[in-house]
Amino acid sequence: MVFNWFRRKFDTSESEPVTDTEQSEASVEIEAPAVSEDEQATTSQEVATDYLAWAKAAYQNIQQQQAALPVAASETESLTVEPIETPTEESIDPATTVPDLEIGSATENTTDSTVEQQSVAASNDRISTVDEIPAPVADVPIWARDDRQQRLEQLKATAIETETPAAPAADVDLDDDFLWSAKVLADRGRTPEQVSLDEINWLKKLRQGLDKTRRGFVNQLKALIGQGPLNADAVESIETLLLQADVGVEATDYVIETLQAKLRQESLPPDEAVAYLKQILCDLLDKPYQENYTQEFFPNPNQLNIWLLVGVNGVGKTTTIGKLAHMSQASGYKCLIAAGDTFRAAAVEQVKVWGQRSGIEVIANPGQNTDPAAVVFDAISAARSRGTELLLVDTAGRLQNKKNLMDELSKIRRIIDKQSANARIESLLVLDATLGQNGLRQAQVFAEAAKLSGVVLTKLDGTAKGGVALAVVQQLGLPIRFIGAGEGIEDLRPFSSYEFVEALLSG
């Protein structure tokens, strides 16, 4: 069972995963009919119990999935190791039976591996000549005695027992992070049978990456918004919290104004106020989809798709290329990489290493300081001739204030548009989340040169402040397509506003 991260569902006909439309829903309505405190406490307890049962069922399902792998391997191996065929007692003439003899100490010191090898050779020889043995011979070694088959079966049984663990366990712990990940997936309409280990590991990594921003943020926020409408001091404190999280001025103003308007209408308990704040953030992150962009972002099958990745030096473009290539390969797309970064030393070799990890070919020019537009041109031709579905184009890092380099980027985009009129073209800006507000100035210039259609937010692995995602969407109007939370090949995933906000604000 393979989970297709582009479409966020399993590539199997046995399960019925959540559809793209259901995945695109930002959140559910928070308002609920008024209930008594006792009823509310009972309902909360039932919900918590259901989540715990759901998480346990998902954990058991993952254990079964993991256990099936070594079991299947051992079964395959056991089929290839066939027992040695020897004649039965009925087929052997008693006159030809070899008598038991005493063996010296030198034979007793023979190792088990030598005994087994000699036993195989002797058995084969005896099988072919059993009818021709004239009479018992003296000095017959122990491996020629009649009990050899029994000893071989014992050795085989011992080997199988050693290779197959009695109780294989999944590479995941039923800890607080697992319970939180299970709750997020359950809220998205998933069933325990539809949960994969990759999803759990990714959500845990995302939550751990945003732990620095989340730590203390939720408790302070509850203390501020749990006292009714926000006064001037509370507004100032919330502004400070949001700005410290790199949310940005415009996004902070929007969040506070929306939250204040709600609190003027009704007084919300702290937990409900935080839940409403989550809804505000999800709506903000999904705002570009209501205007010029579609939420479904994956390569169209049986068609050429070209994704151009741009950004300044050091934001992780080449690494992102490798991770996207791995994701596309795992999702069943025919992929190709264009090594368009011809200026940075060892950049071509780096992207080739990423290509080798996923078994994807890299189109590159062997020369140094070659024209990157020529490399892209050759890559498009190769993609067409090979029926490629996704062409990933790496580009050299450049500062947004270098006019000559930005002009070169514009040239690359013109060549792509001219040579691929029937292809679906996307231009993604890679932003380092640790840069905060500095990355926004870069995006404004790159948007004009490369015709950006989305943002890839990288390095959300503990040192970054996750609020920059809100600033990118609010100020640039660009959707976030992918986020990265680590250096591993599977540490880049499609962006989900619900998962991101839950990881950012769930205590």
- Tell me the per-residue pLDDT of 323-335, one tens digit each, with 9 for 90 and over: 999 999 888 899 9
Q: What is the pLDDT of residue 334?
A: 93
Residues in the chain: 507
Please compute the mean of the pLDDT values over residues 353-362 and round it to a whole number: 90
Could you give the CA distance from residue 207 to residue 214 in angstroms, rounded to a whole number? Answer: 9
Query: Which among 265-274, 364-373, 477-486 has the top mean pLDDT?
Result: 477-486
- The residues pairing with 432 across neighbouring beta strands, listed in sequence order, are 458
What single letter denotes the amino acid at residue 380?
A: I
Token duo for residue 148: 């050899």
Could you give the CA distance from residue 213 to residue 218 in angstroms, rounded to a whole number? Answer: 9
Could you give the CA distance from residue 163 to residue 176 in angstroms, rounded to a whole number? Answer: 32
Q: Can you say whether the dihedral through the CA atoms of 166, 169, 171, 173 is positive or negative?
A: negative
* Residue 319 DSSP SS3: helix
Select the more confidently predicted residue: 413 or 90. 413
Select the more confidently predicted residue: 397 or 161. 397
Environment class of residue 36 by beta-carbon count within 10 Å: exposed (0-12), middle (13-18) or buried (19+)? exposed
Q: Residue 348 in contact with residue 339, Cβ under 8 Å?
A: yes
* Residue 487 DSSP SS3: coil
Poorest-confidence range of 38-52, 211-225, 274-288?
Answer: 38-52
Q: What is the pLDDT of residue 128?
A: 44
The phi and psi torsions of 137 (rounded to 5 degrees) equal -115, 160
Could you tell me the pLDDT band of residue 432, with boundaries at 50, 70 and 90? confident
> Does the structure show a pLDDT above 60 at 392?
yes
Q: What is the pLDDT of residue 47?
A: 53
The phi and psi torsions of 131 (rounded to 5 degrees) equal -80, -10
Could you tell me the pLDDT band of residue 401, with boundaries at 50, 70 and 90? low
β-pairing, 480-484 with 454-458? Answer: parallel
> Does the structure show a pLDDT above 60 at 61?
yes
> Does the structure show a pLDDT above 80 at 390?
yes
β-pairing, 390-395 with 362-363? Answer: unpaired
Select the more confidently predicted residue: 136 or 297. 297
Neighbour order of strands in the sheet with 335-340: 362-363, 335-340, 390-395, 305-310, 424-432, 454-458, 480-484, 492-494
The phi and psi torsions of 123 (rounded to 5 degrees) equal -65, -45
> Does the structure show a pLDDT above 90 at 291?
no
> Does the structure show a pLDDT above 90 at 119?
no
Percent of the chain with pLDDT over 90: 21
Q: What is the pLDDT of residue 27?
A: 35
Could you give the CA distance from residue 227 to residue 234 in angstroms, rounded to a whole number? Answer: 9
Could you tell me the pLDDT band of residue 242, with boundaries at 50, 70 and 90? confident
* pLDDT (tens digit per residue) in 448-493: 777 888 999 998 876 667 788 888 898 888 999 999 988 888 899 9
Query: Which among 17-21, 121-125, 445-449 has the top mean pLDDT?
Result: 445-449
Q: What is the pLDDT of residue 101?
A: 38
Tokens 């800890």, residue?
175
Q: Give ∠ CA 77-83-89 in degrees, rounded to 5.
A: 165
> Does the structure show a pLDDT above 50 at 66?
yes
Q: What is the pLDDT of residue 400?
A: 65
* Residue 306 DSSP SS3: strand
Q: If residue 23 lies in a helix (H) or strand (E), which one and from where to where?
A: helix 20-23
* pLDDT (tens digit per residue) in 5-58: 787 776 543 333 333 434 333 333 333 344 444 444 444 445 556 888 888 998
Please compute the mean of the pLDDT values over residues 286-293 and round it to a whole number: 89
Q: What is the pLDDT of residue 2?
A: 62
Poorest-confidence range of 189-193, 398-402, 446-450?
Answer: 398-402
Q: Cα 490 to the chain's mean position, in Å?
A: 4
What single letter denotes the amino acid at residue 407?
A: D
**What's the Rg (C-alpha) of the chain?**
32
> Does the structure show a pLDDT above 60 at 210?
yes
Could you give the CA distance from residue 365 to residue 28 in angstroms, rounded to a whole number? Answer: 51
76 C-beta neighbours (distance < 10 Å), count? 9
Q: Residue 416 in contact with residue 380, Cβ under 8 Å?
A: yes
> Does the structure show a pLDDT above 50 at 381?
yes
Q: What is the pLDDT of residue 396?
A: 84
Could you give the CA distance from residue 143 to residue 422 in angstroms, rounded to a whole number? Answer: 73
Q: What is the pLDDT of residue 235?
A: 82
Could you give the CA distance from residue 258 to residue 240 in angstroms, rounded to a whole number? Answer: 17
Could you give the CA distance from residue 61 to residue 379 in angstroms, rounded to a whole number? Answer: 43
Q: What is the pLDDT of residue 464?
A: 67
> Does the structure show a pLDDT above 50 at 220?
yes
- Average pLDDT over the chain reads 75
Poorest-confidence range of 138-142, 236-240, 244-248, 283-287?
Answer: 138-142
